[in-house]
């Protein structure tokens, strides 16, 4: 298995192009199943999760073409993918594929909406808590879908088609909102989704669905209304910038010091995280090129943070912020409210000399002056990148094992950091 080796201590200076958002690309690709026409997606990141979803769509019979690189494009520029679900040959999504990535379960919604039937394996993905699908299934049941669970598979049927309904989520769920939204586009009648997720990725999906002919209002608020239509058409859509990648590199610069402009991204996608970074002593300015992150030699102040659904502080930046606070001059409290068991990075950060203790859903971080490089193990997608950030600032050498987690969500990570001065390399498994 590949490893990443980092010699820490170098500040980061330069520009980093931000890729298309993984968490938007996945539902957008899934939406291709809603139409027999071609859906063209631009700015799709080159990631293992995208490749996994392409295999799942292929298994359903979706044709896909990935456009070749154009002159001037680098491996850091997103790709264009054309997806055509003209002939769907199978409405079953098998265990071998779905178990690799939780988001692949979402194919259940377009398959049901267009074909009235789907058989989808229960999902897998990052080991961050139990991550059930009960809310997704009860939303579908509300929409007239009969659900049976057998042998690890969800068998969902709506022989007369999906029905518009009032879906009230008892807690905010991004996956639930994506699924209800996709199912509602081809339902008979009107669907109202209450307590909907307001995440920008939901808005991106809704915008693409609207281009495909869906009738949606309220995306980005907690009440989304969808008037079902009988068919959707093809469309062309550019995936929004990755706000988690943006926040991750912002925290890397905050950690090492330096001056980096994050290009092709937008501050409003991660306002809460940028506000916290300013509180701890990072200088941030915005221009039409992107977001400039600057920290000189001055120390970092501690801060208390609680993760929340958008527009709150994202859970997907919690591990990275914890890495940052290990170097603050004082004590920070970081509370995780979205996922239980999302503190697996704590033990690994301790290997750098970090002082962190857990009290229930709260991590209490006592800042230490310096971190020391260490061999560490990546445990999940966002936790892994917190180890990269710690390694960049630590004295000496860090070796990160199991980096396949990073490849699921960060496009050209080493190249982007190396061009800003980081001493980082991938050691390929022989
Ligand atoms: C998405 C993101 C993930 C992010 C998360 C929260 C993708 C591919 N992944 O995950 O990176 O961390 O949003 O912003 O977009 N829940 C239930 N029952 C359900 C569904 C969810 O109890 O049926 C719980 C989850 O266990 C979790 C909470 O609800 O505790 C939020 O989950 P959800 O918003 O659905 O996260 P994902 O969509 O899986």
For the chain, the three-class secondary structure string (H helix, E strand, C coil) is CCEEEEECCCCEEEEEECCECHHHHHHHHHHHHHCCCEEEEEEECCCHHHHHHHHHHHHHCCEEEECCCCCCCCCCCCEEEEEECCCCCCCEECHHHHCCCHHHHHHHHHHHHHHCEEEEECCCCCCCCCCCCHHHHHHHHHCCCEEEEECCEEEEECCCCCECCEEECCCCCHHHHHHHHHHHHCCECEEEEECCCCCHHHHHHHHHHHHCCCEEECECECEEEEECCCCCCCEEEECCECHHHHHHHHHHHHHHCEEEEEECCCHHHHHHHHHHHHHHCCEEEEECCEEEEEECCCCCCCCCEEECCCCCECHHHHHHHHHHHCCCCCEEEEECCCCCCCCCHHHHHHCCCCEEEEECCEEEEECCCCCECCEEECCCHHHHHHHHHHHHHCECEEEEECCHHHHHHCCCHHHHHHCCCCEEEEECCC
Domain count within the chain: 2
**The pLDDT value given to residue 126:** 44
420 is catalytic: no
Residue 69 pLDDT > 70: no
Average pLDDT over residues 309-334: 97
Residue nearest to atom 39 of ligand 1 (CA): 175
Average pLDDT over residues 66-86: 77
CA of 328 to the centre of ligand 1 (A): 30
**The pLDDT value given to residue 288:** 86
**Catalytic residue of the set 92, 126, 208, 420:** 126
Average pLDDT over residues 206-213: 98
CA of 174 to the centre of ligand 1 (A): 6
Read off the pLDDT band of 404 (50, 70, 90): confident
Do 142 and 267 lie in one domain? The reply is no
Question: Measured in Å, how far apart are the chain's first and last C-alpha atoms?
Answer: 8
Residue 381 pLDDT > 90: no
Read off the pLDDT band of 77 (50, 70, 90): low
Do 264 and 300 lie in one domain? The reply is yes
Q: Is the dihedral of CA 86, 207, 47, 416 positive or negative?
A: positive
Parallel/antiparallel/unpaired status of strands 117-121 and 92-93: parallel
Q: Is the dihedral of CA 135, 136, 142, 146 positive or negative?
A: negative
**Residue with more model confidence, 131 or 225:** 225
Cβ neighbours of residue 187 under 8 Å, at least 6 residues apart? 113, 143, 161, 162, 163, 164, 165, 226, 228
Mean of per-residue pLDDT scores for the chain: 94
**The pLDDT value given to residue 130:** 55
Residue 430 pLDDT > 90: no
- The 10s digit of each residue's pLDDT in 152-182 is 899 999 999 999 999 999 999 999 999 999 9
Average pLDDT over residues 416-423: 98
Do 98 and 85 lie in one domain? The reply is yes
Most confident option among 65-69, 94-98, 303-307: 303-307
Structure-block tokens of residue 242: 């990755």
Q: Kindly report whether the peptide bond that precedes residue 311 is cis, defined as omega within 30 degrees of 0.
A: yes
Do 226 and 247 lie in one domain? The reply is no
- The 10s digit of each residue's pLDDT in 112-152 is 999 999 999 988 544 444 568 999 999 999 999 999 999 88
Do 70 and 111 lie in one domain? The reply is yes
Q: Which atom of ligand 1 is nearest to the CA of 314?
A: 14
Cβ neighbours of residue 188 under 8 Å, at least 6 residues apart? 161, 162, 163, 164, 228
Do 169 and 280 lie in one domain? The reply is no
Do 283 and 214 lie in one domain? The reply is no
Do 141 and 253 lie in one domain? The reply is no
- The 10s digit of each residue's pLDDT in 78-88 is 899 999 999 99
CA of 25 to the centre of ligand 1 (A): 16
**CA dist., res. 203 & res. 192, Å (int):** 16
**The pLDDT value given to residue 191:** 98
Domain end among 238, 267, 296? 238
Average pLDDT over residues 194-201: 98
Q: Which domain holds residue 223?
A: 22-238
Torsion angle of C-alpha atoms 123, 126, 131, 135, degrees rounded to 10: -60
Give the CA angle between residues 45, 118, 237 to the nearest 5°: 30
**CA dist., res. 78 & res. 40, Å (int):** 13
- For ligand 1, say whether the CB of 26 is within 6 Å of any of its atoms: yes
* Residue 347: CATH number of its domain: 3.65.10.10
- For ligand 1, say whether the CB of 113 is within 6 Å of any of its atoms: no
Residue nearest to atom 7 of ligand 1 (CA): 23
Average pLDDT over residues 359-370: 95
**CA dist., res. 368 & res. 362, Å (int):** 19
Residue found by looking up tokens 């209450």 in the block: 194
Domain end among 238, 260, 293? 238
**The pLDDT value given to residue 378:** 87
Residue 335 pLDDT > 80: yes
Read off the pLDDT band of 70 (50, 70, 90): low
Do 157 and 248 lie in one domain? The reply is no
Q: What percent of the chain has pLDDT over 90?
A: 84
- For ligand 1, say whether the CB of 176 is within 6 Å of any of its atoms: yes
Domain end among 206, 222, 238? 238
Do 64 and 185 lie in one domain? The reply is yes
**The pLDDT value given to residue 75:** 56
Do 393 and 420 lie in one domain? The reply is yes
Distances (CA, A) of 94 to 97, 152, 161, 288, 310: 6, 10, 23, 44, 32
Q: What percent of the chain has pLDDT over 70?
A: 96
- Enumerate the β-bridge partners of residue 375: 399
**CA dist., res. 266 & res. 288, Å (int):** 9
- For ligand 1, say whether the CB of 240 is within 6 Å of any of its atoms: no
Do 393 and 423 lie in one domain? The reply is yes
Q: Contact, 322 vs 365, CB < 8 A?
A: yes
Residue 95 pLDDT > 70: yes
**Residue with more model confidence, 74 or 160:** 160
Average pLDDT over residues 32-47: 97
Average pLDDT over residues 357-372: 95
- The 10s digit of each residue's pLDDT in 238-288 is 999 999 999 999 999 999 999 999 999 999 999 999 999 999 999 999 988
- For ligand 1, say whether the CB of 175 is within 6 Å of any of its atoms: yes
Q: Contact, 281 vs 300, CB < 8 A?
A: yes
């Amino acid at each position: 298995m590949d490893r990443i080796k980092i010699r820490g201590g170098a500040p980061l200076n330069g520009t980093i192009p931000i890729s298309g958002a993984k968490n938007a690309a996945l539902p957008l690709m899934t939406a291709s199943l809603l139409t027999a026409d071609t859906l063209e997606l631009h700015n799709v990141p080159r990631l293992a999760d995208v490749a996994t979803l392409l295999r799942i769509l292929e298994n359903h019979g979706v044709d896909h073409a990935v456009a070749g690189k154009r002159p001037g494009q680098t491996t850091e520029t997103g790709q264009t993918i054309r997806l055509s679900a003209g002939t769907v040959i199978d409405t079953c999504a098998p265990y071998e594929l779905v178990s690799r990535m939780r988001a692949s379960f979402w194919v259940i919604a377009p398959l049901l909406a267009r074909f009235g039937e789907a058989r989808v394996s229960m999902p897998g993905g990052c080991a961050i808590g139990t991550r059930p699908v009960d809310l997704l299934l009860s939303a579908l049941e509300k929409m007239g879908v009969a659900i049976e669970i057998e042998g690890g598979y969800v068998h969902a049927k709506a022989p007369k088609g999906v029905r518009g309904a009032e879906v009230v989520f008892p807690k905010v769920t991004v996956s639930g909102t994506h699924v209800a939204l996709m199912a509602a586009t081809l339902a008979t009648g009107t669907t109202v989704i209450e307590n909907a997720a307001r995440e920008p990725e939901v808005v991106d999906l809704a915008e693409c669905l609207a281009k495909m002919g869906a009738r949606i209002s309220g995306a980005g608020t907690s009440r989304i209304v969808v008037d079902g239509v009988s068919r959707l058409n093809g469309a062309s859509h550019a995936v929004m910038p990755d706000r988690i990648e943006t926040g991750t590199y912002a925290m890397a610069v905050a950690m090492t010091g330096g001056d980096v402009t994050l290009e092709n991204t937008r501050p409003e996608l991660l306002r809460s995280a940028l506000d916290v970074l300013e509180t701890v002593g990072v200088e941030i300015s915005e221009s039409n090129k992107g977001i400039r992150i600057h920290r000189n030699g001055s120390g970092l102040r501690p801060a208390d943070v609680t993760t929340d659904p958008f527009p709150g502080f994202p859970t997907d930046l919690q591990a990275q912020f914890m890495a940052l606070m290990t170097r603050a001059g004082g004590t920070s409290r970081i509370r995780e409210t979205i996922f239980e068991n999302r503190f697996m990075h704590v033990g690994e950060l301790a290997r750098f000399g970090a002082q962190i203790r857990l009290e229930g859903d709260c991590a209490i971080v006592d800042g230490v002056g310096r971190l020391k490089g260490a061999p560490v193990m990546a445990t999940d997608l966002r936790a892994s990148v917190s180890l990269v950030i710690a390694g960049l600032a630590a004295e000496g050498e860090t070796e990160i094992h199991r980096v396949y987690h990073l490849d699921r969500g960060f496009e050209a990570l080493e190249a982007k950091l190396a061009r800003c001065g980081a001493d980082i390399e991938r050691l390929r498994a022989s």
